[in-house]
Homo-oligomer: A and B are copies of this chain.
Amino acid sequence: MALSSEQQAEIDLSRAAPTPTLRPTVPALEAMLFQAMPVLDHGFVRVVDYMGDDAAVVQAARVSYGRGTRAANEDRGLIRYLMRHRHSTPFEMCEIKYHVKLPIFVARQWIRHRTANVNEYSARYSILDREFYIPAPEALAAQSDDNRQGRGAVLEGEEATRVLALLREDASRNYDHYAWMLNADDAGRVLDPGRQGLARELARMNLTLNAYTQWYWKTDLHNLLGFLSLRADAHAQHEIRVYADAMLDTVRAWVPHCFEAFSDYRMGAVSLSAQMLDIVKRLLAGDPVEQPGSGLSKREWRELMAMLGRDA
């Protein structure tokens, strides 16, 4: 299970004791606060703190535009305007902090988003738990033939069975050897008083990349949306996308107007190059356009036709 009983007890305690505050609060997010949303086989995401709400975005935009915006727009319209025109600074006025448990190979992808604050569990100081990610059978994708980064069909039969067995055996054996090298169990108790035990900072190198780690990860709403636009996307690796999907649920609860604008103008949006826009105009004018002579490469042409829901 994702959370230790100790952690669960701490959560129950925190949830039992609301205190009054003058800060903006969001009841829908308060209802989720501290609670772990399970992700993958042993992971989770949980919101542990937040600052601001939809109104905080509006308030910041109104400072920037001053008297300008006072009369005119209602909040939802202003937020949609800001999102559409990529006025990003007002979205930076909201902040959220997550506690995440995730496989190391996912953490390595995630950490590339640099504009965030992170405190990760350190295997230099402490002993990692005996937990590894093993894909569910339906997530056991074959390598795509035509797309180097992609997944093809799901592996089946004997090959699938063997892969799962290998992943399980290798992770377990390596963890057993990690513990032997440490000369300690996962509670830190010495196994054999006749041995010294290898330094933690060295023993950890025997672990596999599907071992779980955990961290506190804090960022502002603008950068969170940037993260989600990449990681909740269809091209993202499944194992990080499930985290992004869980986080999208927290954004919907937290800042519903921002979430809606983000869905319309970022997640669902497409970008047309100068040449692509020109072709769309010609098509609308009834002009028959073909890829040869269009000014687009074959690859771009296919991308455009896919956007427009046409045969390439």
Q: Are B23 and A197 in contact (CB under 8 A)?
A: no
Q: Give A272 to B281 CA distance when docked, in angstroms.
A: 14
Q: Are A93 and B97 in contact (CB under 8 A)?
A: yes
Q: Give A277 to B151 CA distance when docked, in angstroms.
A: 27
Question: B residues within 8 A CB of A141?
Answer: 198-199, 202
Q: Contact flags (1/0) for A259-276 with B, using CB distance below 8 Å?
A: 000011101111111111
Q: Are A152 and B22 in contact (CB under 8 A)?
A: no
Q: Which residue of B lies closest to A188 (CB)?
A: B67
Q: Select which of B20, B34, B199, B303 is within 8 A of A152 by beta carbon.
A: B199
Q: Which residues of A contact B (CB under 8 A)?
A: 14-15, 17-25, 30, 33-34, 49-52, 56, 59-61, 63-68, 77, 80-81, 84, 89-90, 92-93, 95, 97, 99, 103-105, 107-109, 111-112, 114-115, 117-122, 124-127, 133, 135, 140-144, 148-153, 155, 159, 163, 166-167, 170-171, 173-174, 177, 180-183, 187-188, 195-202, 204-210, 214-216, 218, 220, 237, 239, 263-265, 267-277, 280-281, 283-284, 297, 299-300, 303, 307-310
A129: min CB distance to chain B, Å: 10
A44: min CB distance to chain B, Å: 14
Give the interface centre of A180, A205, A220, A303 by most chain B CB atoms within 10 Å.
A205
Q: Which residue of B lies closest to A53 (CB)?
A: B49
Q: Give A276 to B268 CA distance when docked, in angstroms.
A: 10
Q: Give A152 to B309 CA distance when docked, in angstroms.
A: 41
Q: Select which of B33, B77, B209 is within 8 A of A104 by beta carbon.
A: B209
